[in-house]
Amino acid sequence: MNFRTGDCLEANSWICAKFISTRKDELLSALQQHVTLTAETVAIALAISLPLAIAVRRGRHARGGLLGLATAVYTVPSLALFGLLVPITGLHSTTVLVGLVLYSLTILIRNVLAGLDSVPAEVVEAARGMGMGRLRILLQVELPLATPSIFAGLRVATVSTVALATIGYLIGEGGLGNLIHEGLTNYFKAEVLTASVLCVLLAIGLDAVLVGLQFLLTPWARRAGRAQ
């Protein structure tokens, strides 16, 4: 393998600084599209999953039905799901976004429900005894205590979305997946490896951001840890 900057493109090396420097704008554009698609997916999925989970958590049949439906969607292969969506949404980034949101809902709905279920009943009763209504208990007691579980779901959904978004190359809306597919088609080693490494780094970076955000939003967890 030839690692020299001047001729690594000609030698079709896996690691090639010249490829990065000459295709920098394309790499940044693909990365930006990937980040945007991932952020939009997780934000929309969270906005949908929170009220759905809250609405069905005490209804056994509604809860089971929602979880069953979400799980059924998750079992559909991504290629098939995108194929089913294309007649409805067309060959557009919306197709990829809708598909990714549907996959993320399964993860987030389960984690929101698990977080709400983990809130001790005595804590809720104590809040009622203090005169707090159902909405205040939900916003000030249950959701804050469910935060670790919700963030665990967010982390899994985010990393999954980074990986699944690459399938969007089928309609030219896959971010870094477009470059990976192009590189594999042309057997362009540097393009495949560079785009793949960026995907991995993106997943790690977004996960680290969520860990830091959870740390900031759960000061009581830090105090409890120091107390132990």
What pLDDT, in 10s, does the model give residues 172-182? 888 899 999 99
pLDDT value at position 222? 61
Residue 111: name the closest of 62, 163, 166, 70 by CA: 70
Contacts 24+ apart (CB under 8 A), 163-166: 163/199, 163/203, 164/78, 164/99, 164/100, 164/103, 165/34, 165/37, 165/38, 165/41, 165/96, 165/100, 166/199
Whole-angstrom distance, CA of residue 31 vs CA of residue 177: 10
Whole-angstrom distance, CA of residue 69 vs CA of residue 35: 28
Total number of residues shown for the chain: 228
What pLDDT, in 10s, does the model give residues 87-108? 888 777 888 999 999 999 999 9
pTM value is 0.86
Residue 2 has pLDDT above 50, yes or no: no
Q: Are the CB atoms for 96 and 174 separated by under 8 Å?
A: yes
pLDDT value at position 4? 45
What pLDDT, in 10s, does the model give residues 110-162? 999 999 988 888 988 898 888 888 889 888 889 899 999 999 999 999 999 99
Domain boundaries, the chain: 23-220
pLDDT value at position 213? 92
Whole-angstrom distance, CA of residue 166 vs CA of residue 179: 9
Q: Are the CB atoms for 168 and 96 separated by under 8 Å?
A: yes
Q: List CB contacts of 149: < 8 A, sequence separation 6 or more.
A: 111, 112, 114, 115, 118
pLDDT value at position 224? 53
CATH node for 23-220: 1.10.3720.10
**pLDDT confidence band for 3 (50 / 70 / 90):** very low
